[in-house]
Amino acid sequence: MFRDLYKQSAKNRADMQEERRKKLLEEQKQKRQLLQDVQRNVDFRQSRQKAKYNKFPAKTTNFRTLKDAYDCDYSLQLSEWLRERPENLDDWFMMPCPKGQRCLLMASNGRTDMYNKAGRKRMSFNTLLPGDNGNGKQTNTLLDCVYSNVQDTFYVLDALVYGNQELIHCETQFRFFWLRSKFAECEELSNRSQYNEKPLKLLERYDFENFADVSEVLQRFPIWPENEPELDGLLFYHKEASYTCGSTPLVGWLFAFMVSDVLGIKVNENYEKPENYVAPLPYMEDFDVALDNQKLKRKQRKQISKDMDTEDSLCTNNEFYKTIDWEIENSSILSVHE
């Protein structure tokens, strides 16, 4: 009896997700049209320069201080579980995503900085991105990436700004086209060198209009040669969606072993289901509970660290908890969808 009630509740949540997608798409289309109307009546080159790129400070330790041309904070776009098959799969891209730490990569003022999801700077280095290595002092680039500590490589998911071209209000299919063309123009971005200290690799996108390509990659195991990097899960992007800072139903997430149940598409048998996996929706709920518990434990650890009495023990435990935080950020339980 209770399982039937749960199924009804889960089904309602999936229906609500589809409704929210449609509503959000319409809102984004209206906003893009409004912006176009406004830009027709102003000298956009000058107004954009003043409104947008002066928001990139010379020195910053937190990307949340950055704003777009319309005074909105930049932050990472986070996906939701893809709870059921969308009405029209042809409107979507699929992107295999490697395990790693989700981050924003900002090239500005001759350096490239990496910021984690909390907005804290994790590292600084040189790349060949516009905004670094003398590629224009007033030029800025902001990329959505996954950093693999194992490969010491950044895997590029999306772009918010590229070479002073703001893309956050553009449709997904345009952002992906722009990124592909820019990486084709500078193939050295994918290689490690004196001027490009961390390789940046653009992840492959698969269009559901070319279903054969999607099916082929789902039948492949591993997806990448020698299983490097290791697959975390699959991202699904609606083609007409703007980049949303925060959680959005227009970007979905599934682990590979869930695809056959949710989308009805066969996957390689080596994507084994966990022992506690019975069906997609209950697994999603249990996963989110485990994720919340992880967050709570991390919060409690930080509080304990603050309450330590002696400086020596405080210093020791701070280093310990920094290590724990890094492990949690890179754990598969804190996937890209979180």
Per-residue pLDDT tens over the stretch 12-22: 676 789 999 99
Q: Which amino acid is present at 246?
A: G
Give, to the nearest 10 degrees, the angle between helix 2-39 and helix 280-306: 70
pLDDT in tens, 192-232: 999 999 999 999 999 999 999 999 999 999 999 999 999 99
- Say how many CA atoms lie within 13 Å of 278 toward its Cβ: 6
Q: Which two tokens stand for residue 84?
A: 């059921």
Tokens at 307, concatenated: 């309450």
The amino acid at 195: Y
What domains are defined for the chain? 2-275 (3.30.470.30)
List 252's β-bridge partners, or say none. Answer: 80, 236
User: Which tops the pLDDT comparison, 268 or 46?
Assistant: 268
Give the tens place of pLDDT for each residue, 130-149.
999 776 567 899 999 999 99
For the cut 50, the answer to whether the pLDDT of residue 334 exceeds it is no
Q: Give me the residue label for tokens 């999306």.
A: 158
CA separation for the pair 277, 294 (Å, rounded): 20
Residue with tokens 């592909």: 180
What is the average per-residue pLDDT within 178-203?
Answer: 97
* Eight-class DSSP state of 333: T
pLDDT attached to residue 332 = 42
Question: What pLDDT sits at residue 2?
Answer: 41
DSSP, collapsed to helix, strand or coil, labels residue 234 as strand
pLDDT higher than threshold 90 for residue 307 = no
* Predicted pLDDT of residue 11: 55
